[in-house]
Amino acid sequence: MLHYMLVFMAYHSSRWIPPGQRLKFQVVNAVFIVVVLAPQVFVMGRPKSSRYCRQPLLNNLAISVALSIIASGFSVIFTLMDPVCQSLWAAYHVFGLLSCGHGLSSAILTLTATACAKTTPELYYTSVALTVASTLCTVFFAVRGGLWLTKRQWDK
């Protein structure tokens, strides 16, 4: 859910800025994209990352980079469009399901790859960091969804 959260934060942060000045927000958005993508690409390019690890952590990191690039596209589109069309919202929520699935698989792979900490330390610790971030984002959306359901229940 990390990638879903990145788009969520970009969208809601941009709504505080008047529509005519949102283009300036794209500079902040670009810096944020670099901050998210650079460590992942750096670790993927390290020679130690290609060493043998029983779990496919390198493949998982490649999927994370791809999801980060897609999330950056969504964040650019969402911050520039006003209003955002329903089909784009639907695509974003499908992307959220993919992001949730990636977070779950990342957690499983990381928990079962403790031996990789010795052979591919950068890759393993990057996977741990992405798993922790994804777990925190999942908890955030679970609490937010629970509050939304409670509010809907009380409104009836």
Residues with Cβ within 8 Å of 107's Cβ and at least 6 positions away in sequence, in order, are 131, 134, 135
pTM over 0.75: yes
The distance between the two most distant Cα atoms of the chain, rounded to a whole number of Å, is 58
The domains of the chain are located at 2-155
- Among 3, 150, 124, residue whose Cα is nearest residue 54: 124
**10 Å Cβ neighbour count for 87?**
8
Strands (E), the chain: none
Question: Which among 110, 129, 130 has a CA at the least distance from the CA of 54?
Answer: 110
Q: Which of 51-55, 101-105, 121-125, 128-132 has the lowest mean pLDDT?
A: 51-55
Sign of CA dihedral 113, 98, 68, 62: positive
Q: In whole angstroms, what is the distance from residue 25 CA to residue 129 CA?
A: 27
90-108 pLDDT per residue, tens: 999 999 999 999 999 999 9
* Tokens 């934060």 sit on residue: 9
pLDDT bracket for residue 114 (50, 70, 90): confident
Q: Which of 30-34, 88-92, 146-150 ranks highest by mean pLDDT?
A: 88-92
For every residue of 92-138, DSSP letters joined together read HHHHHHHHHHHHHHHHHHHHT-TTHHHHSHHHHHHHHHHHHHHHHHH
